[in-house]
Structure 1
Amino acid sequence: MDNMVSEADTVPESDVRFPVVLRGYDRRQVDEYVRVAEKRVDRHEKARRTLERRLAKAQVPAPRAAEADPASGLGKRIEKILELTKSEAEEIKQQARKESADLLTAAEKTVADAESARGETERAAQREARLIVSRAEEEAAAIRTTHQAVLAQLGLIAEVIDELRERFGGEAEAESPAETPVPATE
């Protein structure tokens, strides 16, 4: 299946195009794209949870102010490092949330587009089916009319034959001593 979407082949959601197939989109390709998008959302969500756990582990209680510690300068450096780490972690979480929301929005739009295409395809198929049924009914009516006309003609022919038999029946039998077989046509 060379038209399937793989995670390595994905393009930004704004550049995604699905080929149009027989009055709609290729349902398998859309389903595959949605599946890949959902995997990306899950992956970003797992990364966000992992960073939150790491951040929770990295947080240490602040040193008590009452203690006069000779390494108090070291505590300030650690606090700055922790603040910087927290800030970076928050930025990473925000970026992951944004990417997750963007992917979810794109996936929802893709699903909505696919549903819309499916609905349009279904409506077109119903219109076409009604047209085919209508044409078939018209052809059947024409065949019935032709059939009735042929039956009427056969009835008239039968009447003429009966008349001819009545008129010439006795004479024809007297004149023809033996019936001659009709030669077969090829």
Structure 2
Amino acid sequence: MENTVAETLPESDVRFPIVLRGYDRRQVDEYVRGAEKRIDRHEKARRVAERRLAKAQVPAPRAGEPDEAAGLGRRIEKILQVAKTEAAEIKDQARKDSDELRAAAEKAVAEAEASRAEIERAAQREAQLIISRAEEQAAAIRAAHQEVLDRLGRIAVVVEEVREQYGTESESALEPEAADAEPSLA
């Protein structure tokens, strides 16, 4: 019934098994060695912490000596003031650049609008010219068509006159030929 005590257990949780004549000697010795090691580690950590604390502590300035922290504060204030000034200058320059870009963009938009309007006017003029030419060509085609119709009408009148005048003579002249051309049914 042997139990070993872990080094990580807090001292209040340590229990030793009871053996025939008290506690197990080997287990107690083991626990004591572990406890001594922990004490040594804590002692070393305490000394290191004390040295760090001693190094971190800054003595208060004596009367008549310049306050280094105050000088540091003034330097920081100057650095901050310079940074603020530079930031303001950068903002001003950015505003100027932004205004210039906006003005250039507005000018480009105005030029583009003027160009668009001019192109639109030119396109309207060209479209009107095309329409006018198309209307002129359509009128010329209509006139030519009408002239053809008029000629055909005159030709039809002439043909009718010729038919009336020569129609009876040509019919009688064509009749024997027409009779020859017809096949007999017998």
State the TM-score, normalizing by the size of structure 2: 0.56
Rounded to whole Å, the distance in 1 between the matches of 2:163 and 2:71 is 135
Q: How does 1:3-152 map to 2 (within 5 A)?
A: 70=67, 71-152=69-150
Rounded to whole Å, the distance in 2 between the matches of 1:144 and 1:81 is 92
Out of 152, 155, 159, the position equivalent to 1:154 is 152
User: Paired residues, what number?
Assistant: 111
Q: How does 1:159-170 map to 2 (within 5 A)?
A: 159-170=157-168
Over the aligned positions, Cα root-mean-square deviation in angstroms equals 1.8
Unaligned runs of 5+ in 2: 1-65, 180-186
Deviations 1:27-74 (A, max 9, x none): xxxxxxxxxxxxxxxxxxxxxxxxxxxxxxxxxxxxxxxxxx933322
The structure with the larger Rg is 2
Deviations 1:96-118 (A, max 9, x none): 11111111111111111111111
Fraction of identical pairs, as percent:
61
State the TM-score, normalizing by the size of structure 1: 0.56
Q: What's the offset of the Cα at 1:127? A: 0.5
Rounded to whole Å, the distance in 2 between the matches of 1:101 and 1:107 is 10
Rounded to whole Å, the distance in 2 between the matches of 1:154 and 1:178 is 30
Deviations 1:111-164 (A, max 9, x none): 111111111111111111000000000011111111111111111111111110
Rounded to whole Å, the distance in 1 between the matches of 2:73 and 2:154 is 119
Out of 163, 169, 180, the position equivalent to 1:171 is 169
Unaligned runs of 5+ in 1: 1-68, 180-186
Residue identity in the other structure for 2:138: A
Residue identity in the other structure for 1:108: E
Rounded to whole Å, the distance in 1 between the matches of 2:141 and 2:153 is 18
Spell out structure 1 runs of 4+ moving beyond 4 A. none
